[in-house]
Structure 1
């Protein structure tokens, strides 16, 4: 199943990653990220927990709003380059093969495609409470 970012934020579904904001300064409106659910699996030996695995395709210039996940989030970049950061931490630029981690209490302050001309794609594996929404907007 494929989701556009607008569908996600509107419904705050468990699967994909929410609405992605337009990148400031882009000459034209940046396209929303596309999030695809790969699998959800209950962790039988850890009661009340499940894993959600998704891919995120960032078109050129795409960025996401400030949010948190209430989950352990493990990111692996497949292609392109992305910029990630959490509150109190440094922004990092990741390229294909690089990884990033966010904890359940982290506020994801920076998440964007590092390029205004090339797409980027990454996989996210989230360990979260079973049935809980994982994308939580932060104002």
Structure 2
């Protein structure tokens, strides 16, 4: 599968590498699908503010990442830890906690079929 460029990057942080793993329609939930992505932040890497219009579940594989949504607290996640954001959440913080080591995580999105995985924050 090809690498997805999902959003514009902030000028100061290196962009993440996003690789699709799987997309699966959910016949029991018409119009819904699961999209699984593998994301790797380079050292100092970060996402710009964005949203998903989906339930998003992050599971950290390597390194540590800082995640946060508007109105919530930032959390630093280590391997084996997870994070959830809902369809109405604005993802205000998504970055590698390290300036010297990469971080890798898997994202599971429960979303509408044919809807973009990442949307600009409004």
> Which residue does the alignment assign to 2:9?
20
Please state if 1:127 is matched with 2:110.
Answer: yes
> Which residue does the alignment assign to 1:27?
none
Query: Secondary structure of the equivalent of 1:122?
Result: strand
* 1:1-139 aligned within 5 A: 1-3=1-3, 8=5, 17-23=6-12, 30-138=13-121
Q: Distance in 2 between matches of 1:63 and 1:88?
A: 19
Q: RMSD of the TM alignment (CA)?
A: 1.4
Preserved CA contact (<8 Å) 1:2 1:35:
no
Question: What per-residue deviation string (whole Å, max 9, x for no partner) do you get for residues 27-71 of structure 1?
Answer: xxx432100000000001000000000000000000110000000
Corresponding pairs, count? 122
TM-score of the superposed pair, with normalisation by structure 1: 0.83
Q: Distance in 2 between matches of 1:37 and 1:19?
A: 18
Structure 1 or 2: more helix by fraction: 1
CA pair 81-22 structure 1, distance change in 2 beyond 3 A:
farther
1:137 CA displacement:
1.4
